[in-house]
Amino acid sequence: MANWLAAPLWPLEIFTATKAFSNPLLASEKLNRRGLYAWRVTATHRLADRRRRKLRHLVSDAEREAFDTTGAIVKTPLAPDAFAALREEVMNLSAPAYEMREGDAVTRRIAVTPSLLTSTPTLARLVASQEYQGPIRYAGSFDVAPQLYIQTIFTHVVEPDGSPDPQNQLHMDTFHPTVKSWLWLDDVDEDMGPFAYVFGSHKLDPRRLAWHKRRSVIAAQGGPHGGSFRVSDAELRRLHLPDPHVFVAPAGTMVAGDTFGLHRRTRATRPSRRVELWATSRPNPFNPFIKNWLWPLPGMEGREAILWQEYATFAHKMGLRKRKDWHYVGKVRPKDDPRHPSLT
Ligand SMILES: O=C(O)CCC(=O)C(=O)O
Ligand SMILES: [Fe+2]
């Protein structure tokens, strides 16, 4: 249902990261047939390309080429000794955590705040380094500090298999270029639900754009909503894209990828706990500048992750946000058993 009080804001929302088809303009079949959604896709890609050209110095030539062809930068930013120290720090910390359940998977996030970093010096050095920040900022096309979390993915939290984990379906996160990064703290093997990414799917070629236009019209007609379009294997073929690359990777591997590109969490074949340093960054994709002068507000830098979690929990309690049901679960270590209230 349209909220008419918000009507004056509808046109403004076209120029934001809003992907949901809840805005009547974005959800208009007529406007999408005329190319509104497709225009947002094209404009944000052009802007991201321009911003990335100004951020070339943040990565090596090899990293830049890898990103430009595949949509992801894969690296090992720490030497074995430093990585061992980092793993020790992270696995043993006990900090405020939030959990969200999707199907039979639970995602736990511990925000990496300035106070947490005082007790984890190796982690503090890593997250301040260009080795770590460069690929995330280049892939994300903004010279802005990403939000950082220690994230644990618990699979098969209910037995036998309950409702499926939606992250197991191939999808794109949104209509514009954006970044997520994973640095795995344990070896990730085939059975524990590795991340998978379709190399080259970050590129907006005419075929992909036409596909977007069709999907936006279907969404406006009441088809699958949300804008994190799901992609079947048959569609992947039609888009002339390869099978997803599965990140079975040794501990210490980092991936920074544009999640406009297609990706999924491979279905785990056994209960597993995948612990990672995880990053996300989503400034307004229509911002032509590499800096974000409006956000974070002074004094908030490094605290957005925790503020976002507090907001998500509050919003859930108030019934404002139904989809992502984040709960505060107290202080835990990354690998402690999940505590999401739906599990008890
Ligand atoms: O956990 C994963 O492997 C991927 C999840 C995902 O799709 C995402 O974080 O956007
Ligand atoms: Fe995703």
Q: Write the pLDDT tens digit of every residue in 111-150.
A: 999 999 999 999 999 999 999 999 999 999 999 999 999 9
- Structure confidence at residue 55 as a pLDDT band (50, 70, 90): very high
Q: Please report whether residue 109 resides in a domain.
A: no
H helices then E strands: how many in the chain?
11, 11
Token duo for residue 38 = 């497709």
Tens digits of per-residue pLDDT, 270-305? Answer: 999 999 999 999 999 999 999 987 777 777 777 788
Residue 1 or residue 246, greater confidence: 246
32 within some domain: yes
Please state, as a whole number, how many other Cβ atoms lie within 10 Å of the Cβ of residue 240: 10
Q: Return the residue whose CA atom lies nearest to atom 4 of ligand 1.
A: 265
Return d(Cα 190, Cα 34) in angstroms, integer: 44
Phi, psi of 84 (to 5 degrees): -60, -40
- 37 assigned to some structural domain: yes
Position 322 scores a pLDDT of 61
* Ligand 1 pocket check for 260: Cβ under 6 Å: no
Q: According to the model, what pLDDT value does residue 155 have?
A: 95
SS3 content of the chain, % helix, strand, coil (to 5): 35, 20, 45
Mean pLDDT of 46-66: 98
What predicted TM-score, i.e. pTM, was given to this entire model?
Answer: 0.94
Residue 98 has pLDDT above 70, yes or no: yes
Q: ∠ at Cα 220 (217, 222), nearest 5°?
A: 120
Which atom belonging to ligand 1 lies closest to the Cα atom of 107? 1
What pLDDT does residue 225 have? 60
| Total domains in the fold of the chain | 1
What's the sign of the alpha-carbon dihedral 289, 295, 297, 300?
negative
Q: Residue 263 CA: which ligand 1 atom is closest? A: 7
Which residues keep their CB under 5 angstroms from ion ligand 2?
173
pLDDT at 5: 75
Q: Which two tokens stand for residue 268?
A: 């785990």
Give the whole-angstrom CA distance, residue 256 versus residue 144. 15
- Kindly give, in sequence order, each residue whose CB lies less than 8 Å from that of residue 294, ignoring residues fewer than 6 positions away: none
Instruction: Decide if pLDDT at 81 tops 90.
Output: yes
Q: Under DSSP, is residue 140 helix (H, G, I), strand (E, B) or coil?
A: helix
Residue where the block lists tokens 């005419």: 206
Candidate of 263, 267, 273, 274 to mutate for ligand 1, largest count of ligand atoms within 8 Å of Cβ: 263
265 lines ligand 1 (CB under 6 A): yes
Domain annotation covers residue 31: yes
List the domain range (segments joined by +) for residue 149. Answer: 19-96+129-284
Distance CA 195, CA 176 (A): 20
Terminal CA-CA length for the chain: 34
CATH number assigned to the domain comprising residue 250: 2.60.120
Q: Tell which atom from ligand 1 comes closest to the C-alpha of 167.
A: 7
Q: Residue 171: pLDDT above 70?
A: yes
13 falls within a domain: no
Q: Give domain status of residue 124, yes or no.
A: no
* Ligand 1 binding pocket mutation candidate from 182, 195, 323 (most atoms within 8 A of CB): 195
Handedness of CA 85, 88, 92, 94 (dihedral sign): positive
Ligand 1 site-directed mutation target among 165, 265, 282, 323, most atoms within 8 Å of CB = 265
- H or E element, residue 59: none
Residue 263 Cβ contacting ligand 1 at under 6 Å: yes
The answer to which of 4-18, 45-59, 196-210, 243-257 has the lowest mean pLDDT is 4-18
Is residue 328 in some structural domain? no
Closest ligand by atom to 149 CA: 1
What H or E segment, with its residue span, contains residue 121?
A: helix 121-128
pLDDT of 2 > 60? The answer is: no
Contacts of residue 136, defined as CB under 8 A and 6 or more positions apart, other chains included, come to 146, 179, 181, 256, 279, 281
**C-beta of 259 in contact with ligand 1 (< 6 A):** yes
In 81-154, beta strands by DSSP E: 95-102, 105-111, 147-154
Is residue 333 included in any domain, yes or no?
Answer: no
